A = this chain, B = another copy of it.
Amino acid sequence: MQKIKVIAFDADDTLWINEPYYQDVERLFCELLKDYLPEDEVSIELLKTEKQNIEIYGYGAKGFMLSMIETALRISNNKVDANIILQTISIGKYLLNKPIELLANVEQTLIALKKDYKIILATKGDLLDQERKLKKSGLLHHFNHVEIMSNKNEEDYQKLIKRLEIQPEKFLMIGNSVKSDILPVISIGSKAIHIPFSVTWKHEILEKKHNEDFKTISNLSEIISLLKC
């Protein structure tokens, strides 16, 4: 850990609450469609649509909105009441306008670390939406660099490290998703610390087991002592 020069933080569900808001919106959506299909089945259909569309839409709220609308059409055999589409757009906009609620100890950890490290934000999602959330969070001025990525696989991290002009072993990633924030980072020779969040987004749940060769913390402030090891 003593080689580390750059610390990158994931944003959603690492620095601030995100997934519970998406789950709230999904619940509202399933309820809207309960006359066509039981709510838990609507949820399964929505996940199916999202998986089909992830390659074309990418991650983020707008793709989620479009997938909800497409799901509503499919499960109603294209007979869905237009008012339900209107309400789907409305709950999607509510999601985009949600205020930001920071997780515990975020700001003091960033302040403590920025004295000794280059601090960056590395998140995926809609460009404008993530920039807006960062502004609303009040954390923007703590970051030396912000990278909004269309995906977080090994190749994407390699590009990021090249852009930062550092060796992989000097890069530490901190995030809540083992799939996106931890495994690809370790596999390119960088370090990663996992900070689990209470709920995991369905797309981030790993199907196969992985080697637990990374550190896990339960509170962001633990990073400070870990970095001294």
Contact = CB atoms under 8 A, between A and B. Distances in A.
A70 B83 contact: no
Given A69-B89, A128-B150, A150-B131, A79 B78 contact: no
Contact of A66 (B66, B73, B127, B148): B66
Given A56-B96, A128-B150, A148-B127, A83 B89 contact: no
A58 interface: yes
Contact of A62 (B66, B82, B93, B150): B66
Contacts of A92: 66
Task: Please list the 10 inter-chain residue pairs (A to B) with the smallest Cβ-Cβ separation, ordered nearest first.
Answer: A58-B128, A62-B62, A128-B150, A127-B127, A78-B82, A127-B150, A80-B82, A73-B86, A78-B83, A131-B150
Interface of A: 56-59, 62-63, 65-66, 69-70, 73, 76, 78-80, 82-83, 85-86, 89, 92-93, 96-97, 126-129, 131, 145, 148-151, 163
